[in-house]
Amino acid sequence: MDLRPLWLAGRLLSRLPFPEPREIEPGLLGLSVPWYPAIGVLLGVLIASSGTALAPLDPGVAAALVLILWVWSTGALHLDGLADSADAWVGGIASRERTLEIMKDPRCGPAAVTVIGLVLIAKWAGLQALIASGYAWILLLIPLLARAQLPLLMLTTPYARDRGMASEQVARLPRRAAWAATLIAAMACLWIAGWIGLALCVMALAVFWLSRRTMMRRIAGFTGDTAGALVEITETVLLFTVVLAATLIR
């Protein structure tokens, strides 16, 4: 079995020590996409186990440490996409061309800084609540579902630019494997967490639908930045969904 697509997915989406593929063939990027939910599982195990292990500490301190690990383990890749998307949506003034142009600018504007700050504060508060209530184990599911959004996005949404890494991924995407990976992620959530898993799947689909509609209206497709923004928004919404579910259980 050729594991290079898995290694490439791991190196793209995380800082985990995956081997480096010696040769990246034309179709390897597309073959890596169905492995994205698997990378989400690994990140989820890391975050959930850390939250459980740090539970004896003050919840605020524990949440801060878990959040630092969460951001480090992803290399802030999706936060970067969220920042670029925020600047582009505010500065693009409903212009597709201007929005795409701003997303290519490496500088961060006020919208980017504000959105990143708000998302990190929201995640810290959600982590604190989960760790304090003893439900840190459910953190296993959040990175999984967030990264399952990526193959779903590529399956259903055109790439907005003429060229780019994601354009090759879409062109060479193994569609059956991508659909299977997305469905397996959803079924795993249902099996592991029951009705809470169902609630998370429903909320993930709602975030996906709203985000995709916004992308199509503004830029008629997606980019790597908007895909990263989708991951961050999904994680934040799912984190608060879990907190609400844990509150209802108690």
DSSP structure string for the chain: ---HHHHHHHHHH--S-PPPPS---TTHHHHHGGGHHHHHHHHHHHHHHHHHHTTTS-HHHHHHHHHHHHHHHHTTHHHHHHHHHHHHHHHSTT-HHHHHHHHT--S--HHHHHHHHHHHHHHHHHHHHHHHHT-GGGGGHHHHHHHHHHHHHHHHS-BSSSSSHHHHHHHT--HHHHHHHHHHHHHHHHHHHHHHHHHHHHHHHHHHHHHHHHHHHHHSSB-HHHHHHHHHHHHHHHHHHHHHHHHHH-
pLDDT at residue 187 in the model: 96
Each residue's pLDDT tens digit, 187-201: 999 999 999 999 999
Overall average pLDDT of the 177-181 stretch: 96
Interval 111-129: pLDDT, tens: 999 999 999 999 999 999 9
Q: What is the pLDDT of residues 146-175, one digit of tens each?
A: 999 999 999 999 999 877 767 788 888 999
Per-residue pLDDT tens digits for 3-48: 888 999 999 999 998 888 777 776 788 899 999 999 999 999 999 9
For the entire predicted model, the pTM comes to 0.94
